[in-house]
Each structure stands twice: as C-alpha cells, then as structure tokens.
Amino acid sequence: MGKQVALQLCPLSEYLEAQLAERCPVVRWFELDEAAQRAWLATQADSVNVVVTGGHLGCTNDLIDALPSLGLIAINGVGFDKVDVPYARGRGVAVSTTPGVLTDDVADLAVGLTIGLLRGLPAADRFVRDGRWLEEGFPLKRKMTGRRFGIVGLGHIGRATADRLAAFGPIAYHGRMPKDAPYRFEPDLHVLARDSDVLLLACAATEETRGLIDASVLEALGPEGYLVNVARGSVVDEDALAAALDRGTIAGAALDVVADEPVVPVGLIASERTVLAPHIASGTVETRKAMADLVLANVDALLAGAPLPSALK
C-alpha cells in the first residue's frame, strides 16, 4: 500500500465513505481489534496522511505519534475537543472541522427541544400511545411564548438559536466577551441563570467550559427554570444535574448530548423531567451531505497540496 491512505476512525455516512474511497485507499480502523491495529501500524503506519473522524471521537496523541506521515485530521463535525490541537500542530498536522453548514440544524433542534421540554411533547406522545387519553386529561405544561432565554455561547450556533428564540421572548447571553448582537450581554453566568426561564448551552467544549454548568448555576436557574444542551456533554456536571432534577432544584432539562456518549447516566434516563435525544443536532440528510462535502474538500486540498478550506487557525 502506497502513500496517501486515509484512516477512518468511526462509521460515516454511506455517501462520505464512498466518496472517500474514490480518492484514496481507506482503512476502517474502528473495525480492527487492538492486536490487529498494532500489527497494521507495525508495517503500514507511514502510509497514512489523513485521519477522518467524528467530533465525538477525535484522535488521540498516541495515534498522531504513530503516524509519521499524517498531515490532516479531518473531523466530520464542529467539535474538536477530542483532539489536542496544539499537539497536532506541533507535529505538523492540520485539523479541519465542518463549521457553518450545520448551524441551522443545531439551532432548529435547540428550539425544538425547548418547545418539547416546556410543552411535554415526548410525554404527551406516550400518553396517547398508552391509551391514557381515553381515561384522563394530560397535565398542564408551561407556555413557550414570553419565556426569558439565556444563551451560553453566542457563536454561530448560539446566535442562530437566539435569533430564532427572539420570536418567543427576550434574549440575554453569556460568553467571554460581548458580541455585535442585539441582545443583552451578561458577564456573570449565575446572574444569567437567575434571570432566565430557559438556559441554553451553545458554547464550545474546552477545558475552560468543562463542568461550567455546576450545582451553583443550577441552583441559580431555580425550580421553574429549564436547561437545554446542544453543545457538549462535558459542559455540564451531570451528577449535579441528575441531583437537581431529582430534588426539583430545576424544572427540567433537554439534552442532545452527554459526556460519555452513547452511555447516558441512569439518573437522567430515569427522570421524568428530561427530554433526551441521541446527538442528532446535525442529523438531517441535507446537512450531513454538506458536512461530508466539506470533509472531502479538506481531504482534496491536502492531497493536492492546496490550502485547506476549513482548517482550524
């Protein structure tokens, strides 16, 4: 096997896998056990110059070290917290993501989760399917219009979410610095939580934001407040969240992400106050194709020795 092999670390869409295979030989790394991986690296490691992976998985430093010809880690997603980017750069390895193309879908799902949470839509569906509507009325839920929304992280996704939610009620946001936006900036996260009916997380997953939503923030959000997370599971202290839901410290939570995906903490599954989704924010046919095309554009650029269209700066 010659140079320019792609190492595929996780399952990808049928379209992306087919298109990638047309460009270069592909090794489906996730289908090999550890012994097979070690054996392959012993003879073929120098042939790999592209790793294609998901944001939920990333690429370890050990694997980067094992691939002397690696030039690009192409992430099919916007999250890059599972890649040590400075380390990769130090080894001469670029890291690309798929920004922009999934913004609309993630913002749409954030709104959908919020409506589903406040109006109890998953529970209402079960109520009808279980035949309970024949015998009783569905409990009253909370109104969406007029809620106060707090956005943590006003990047592309946070801003798109805020613009959608502005039709329902007032918006405030928290981040490292104010943005050029028609919404109130709140430098104190606890104040934002206290002043919000719904706190939505759209920030990047970094060491700075790990466990950002802790017991004190949930306490500030209060017994009539709701949490919605379309960012990353690591942003939330999940033990504190499970306890807050169990005690009624907050009214409920809608989560598209958890820290150890796909393993969801038992307390979050068991709670009647949660709405859960399997990390589907970008999960539409249209957006997944757009993401795949951007991954392929980065691979094409690397193979051609051209500038990468969406490499991290």
Separation between Cα atoms, residue 157 and residue 174, nearest integer Å: 14
For domain 5-100+286-304, the CATH class is alpha beta
In 10 A of CB 216, how many CB atoms? 13
Q: Determine contact, residues 4/49, Cβ cutoff 8 Å.
A: yes
Give the pLDDT confidence score for residue 29 in this predicted structure: 98
Q: Do domains 5-100+286-304 and 103-276 have the same CATH topology?
A: yes
Position 1 pLDDT exceeds 90: no
- Residue 88 corresponds to which amino acid? A
| Sign of the torsion angle spanned by Cα atoms 285, 282, 291, 1 | negative
The chain-wide mean pLDDT, for the chain, equals 97
Mean pLDDT of 19-37: 97
Domain extents in the chain: 5-100+286-304, 103-276
Percentage with pLDDT > 70 across the chain: 99
Residues with catalytic function: 232, 261, 279
235-281 confidence digits (pLDDT tens): 999 999 999 999 999 999 999 999 999 999 999 999 999 999 999 99
Rounded to whole angstroms, the Cα distance separating 286 from 141 reads: 33
CATH of domain 103-276: 3.40.50.720
Cα 134 to its chain centre, rounded Å, is 39
Confidence check: pLDDT of 70 > 70: yes
Q: For a pLDDT cut of 90, what percent of the chain falls above it?
A: 97
Residue 92 above 70 pLDDT? Answer: yes
Residue 182 near residue 204, CB atoms below 8 Å:
no
pLDDT 10s digits, 151-164? 999 999 999 999 99
Mean pLDDT for 13-27 is: 96
pLDDT of 3 reads 59
Distance of alpha carbon 218 from alpha carbon 244, whole angstroms: 7
Predicted local distance difference test score (pLDDT) of residue 198? 99
For 208-240, the pLDDT digits (tens) are: 999 999 999 999 999 999 999 999 999 999 999
Residue 284 burial by Cβ neighbours in a 10 Å radius (0-12, 13-18, 19+): middle
Position 2 scores a pLDDT of 45
The residue written with tokens 């410290």 in the block is 249
Return the beta strands (E) in the chain as ranges. 5-8, 26-28, 48-54, 72-76, 94-96, 149-152, 171-174, 184-185, 198-201, 226-229, 252-255, 274-276
